[in-house]
Amino acid sequence: MADFLKTISDSYNFKGDSVLIGCAIHDTQPVDGLQIRVPLKTMNRHGLIAGATGTGKTKSLQVLLEEFSQAGVPSLVMDIKGDLSGIGAPGSRNKIVTLREGHIQMEWKEKGFPIEFLTISDEPGTRIRSTVSEFGPVILSKILDINPTQEGVLSMLFKYSDDNKLPLLNLDDLKSLLRYSIEDGKKEIQLEYGLISTSSIQAILRRITALEQQGGGRLFGEPSFDVADLCTLDSDDQGKVNIIRLTDIQSKPSLFSAFMLSLLAEVFEVFPESGDDSKPKLMILIDEAHLLFREASKDLLEQIDIIIKLIRSKGIGIIFITQTPNDIPENILGQLGFKLQHALRAFTSKDRKAINLMAQNFPDTEFYNTQELITEMGIGEAMITVLNEKGRPTELVHTLMRPPYSRMDVLTDDEINEILGKSELSQKYNKEIDSRSAHEILVERINKSNEEEEEEKEKKPASRRKTSTRQTVGTFEKIMKSPVANTVMRELTRGILGVFGISTTTRRRRTTSRRR
């Protein structure tokens, strides 16, 4: 016991800012006052919260959000199940809260935290959008899962839109540009930028249609959301908890993947490089993380992997929440320094084999049998290991999680509407802006071209008629001057005069006779 106390105490004794998670458990019993903390300095090394349904993942997530807020670290959390809104209201004391308060030797206080509701769907909240131009051809190609040839065509058209000042704000703008490139604007674009394959354009249009069917059109438009607005504090210097309500996105994993990639890419692009800060600038927590990876293409996964590797240099930390570590790709799982593992249940031999493999993801320990502990932990208990201030993994510890200060239930609709009514972000972004963009410009250009063609058609028939008249007159004159015409005219005159009974010879004789 003495060795355990010393090892755990030394391992979790941090000099810098840290957040309280709970207290250690030894031989199934809480060790009163042996607090387990996580250093804020290394939270940008990313993390994982895993565990079976009903073992306490959501409450652990709630605790972390509270601790980040109290430490002045803003956060962004994906609320897939719709059960995180309660963090905005004070909780209530009960027997379990009082019991854990004693074991952890903490002061529990009922407290609500500053929150903002965001949305990319029909859920109430501040709209998050970006323009197509801000996405750029590379990220958009990953989202649409198109091949390199099609990506090249898309990049070419983005260049054309930039050079010709055609703002690409939403998907209608992009579709108009794609159609224009193989119809009215084909010659112009190909002359300046190279050949464009009609089949590639049609393939891209099909991908866009598939994205729209999942509601992807809501991701694009104006006003564009400024990710810097995620990093705000309230009047008490508490970090805002930005909750993206995604309860209607569970059946649309492709849309979720597209949104997350675009968001991470935007954060990575906008935030400046950060030094060795004492705490993160922003924490991003992705609940039901398997939705992010389940139907993501290979290119999309590679792009996410790259961003996760590099984004920590911007002072951004990412925590994935899912049922098993197997839901996270291995190359990403290997980058996670903070691991909080709730219980898993082994109902089959396949489950037991999987758990045995998962146990190897944690540091070796002389105090616990990791494989057994994973299946034996109770609700609200977890195995924890973090990176210390020198970047080394701490000793694995069985932990009794502290109870949340905020409500362990959801807010009512009236409470949500009240928060939205006071939200400055909602007033800033929940408005429609219909700027003149590529769609309108190209439609005007096509209409003008059609009008010019109609005018040309109207002029051409009149021109033809004049030419025909001149040609007829000229031909008639030539015919009349020809010898054949003279002969015909003489014979015709003779015939006409003969009708009246007077010949040409007789007419001449009568004229001579009168002169005499």
Strands 381-385 and 397-401: antiparallel
Strands 126-127 and 29-39: unpaired
Please give the Cα distance from 380 to 87 (Å, whole number).
17
**Is residue 410 located within the same domain as residue 328?**
yes
On whether the CB atoms of residues 43 and 279 are closer than 8 A, the answer is yes
**Is residue 39 located within the same domain as residue 98?**
yes
Q: Which residue has the tokens 């009149």?
A: 462
**Is residue 407 located within the same domain as residue 498?**
no
Please give the Cα distance from 334 to 46 (Å, whole number).
10
**Is residue 161 located within the same domain as residue 113?**
no
On whether the CB atoms of residues 298 and 148 are closer than 8 A, the answer is no
**Is residue 257 located within the same domain as residue 181?**
no
Give the pLDDT confidence score for residue 473 in this predicted structure: 45
> Omega into 223 within 30° of 0, i.e. cis?
yes
Other Cβ atoms closer than 10 A to 271: 19
Dihedral sign, CA of 220, 222, 227, 233? negative
* Helix or strand holding residue 339 (H, E): strand 338-341
**Is residue 110 located within the same domain as residue 147?**
no
pLDDT(125) > 50: yes
The top-scoring range by mean pLDDT among 109-113, 165-169, 432-436 is 109-113
Q: How many domains does the chain have?
A: 3
76 in a structural domain: yes
pLDDT-wise least confident of 25-34, 161-170, 260-269, 317-326:
260-269
Q: Which of 512, 69, 52 is nearest to 283 (CA)?
A: 69
pLDDT(363) > 90: no
Give the pLDDT confidence score for residue 123 in this predicted structure: 82
Give the pLDDT confidence score for residue 248 in this predicted structure: 72
**Is residue 255 located within the same domain as residue 272?**
yes
pTM for this predicted structure: 0.81
Q: Where are the alpha helices (DSSP H) in 271-412?
A: 290-294, 298-311, 330-333, 349-359, 370-376
Q: Where residue 383 falls among pLDDT bands split at 50, 70, 90?
A: very high
**Is residue 377 located within the same domain as residue 256?**
yes
Q: Which residue has the higher pLDDT, 301 or 75?
A: 75
**Is residue 105 located within the same domain as residue 176?**
no
12 in a structural domain: yes
Q: Which residue has the higher pLDDT, 499 or 487?
A: 487
458 in a structural domain: no
455 in a structural domain: no
The CATH number assigned to the domain holding 277 equals 3.40.50.300
**Is residue 114 located within the same domain as residue 171?**
no
Q: Is 483 left (phi over 0), alpha (psi -120 to 50) or beta?
A: alpha
On whether the CB atoms of residues 374 and 342 are closer than 8 A, the answer is no
Q: Where are the alpha helices (DSSP H) in 287-369?
A: 290-294, 298-311, 330-333, 349-359
Which residue, 428, 447, 466, sits at the end of a domain? 447
18 in a structural domain: yes
Please give the Cα distance from 167 to 436 (Å, whole number).
8
15 in a structural domain: yes
Give the pLDDT confidence score for residue 434 in this predicted structure: 67
Please give the Cα distance from 336 to 286 (Å, whole number).
14
Please give the Cα distance from 43 to 318 (Å, whole number).
8
124 in a structural domain: yes
Q: Which amino acid makes up residue 508?
A: R
Q: Where residue 453 falls among pLDDT bands split at 50, 70, 90?
A: low
Q: Report the DSSP beta bridge partners of residue 220.
A: 130
Q: Where residue 460 falls among pLDDT bands split at 50, 70, 90?
A: low
329 in a structural domain: yes
Residues 6+ apart with CB under 8 A from 73: 40, 43, 239, 279, 280, 281, 282, 283
Give the pLDDT confidence score for residue 378 in this predicted structure: 92
Q: For 9-23, how does the pLDDT look when each residue is reduced to its tens digit (9 = 90+)?
A: 989 988 889 999 999
Q: Where residue 446 falls among pLDDT bands split at 50, 70, 90?
A: confident
Give the pLDDT confidence score for residue 101 in this predicted structure: 95
On whether the CB atoms of residues 84 and 77 are closer than 8 A, the answer is yes
Q: For 182-205, how does the pLDDT look when each residue is reduced to its tens digit (9 = 90+)?
A: 988 888 888 888 888 899 999 999
**Is residue 254 located within the same domain as residue 195?**
no
Identify the domain containing residue 26 by its residue range: 2-129+234-417
**Is residue 166 located within the same domain as residue 238?**
no
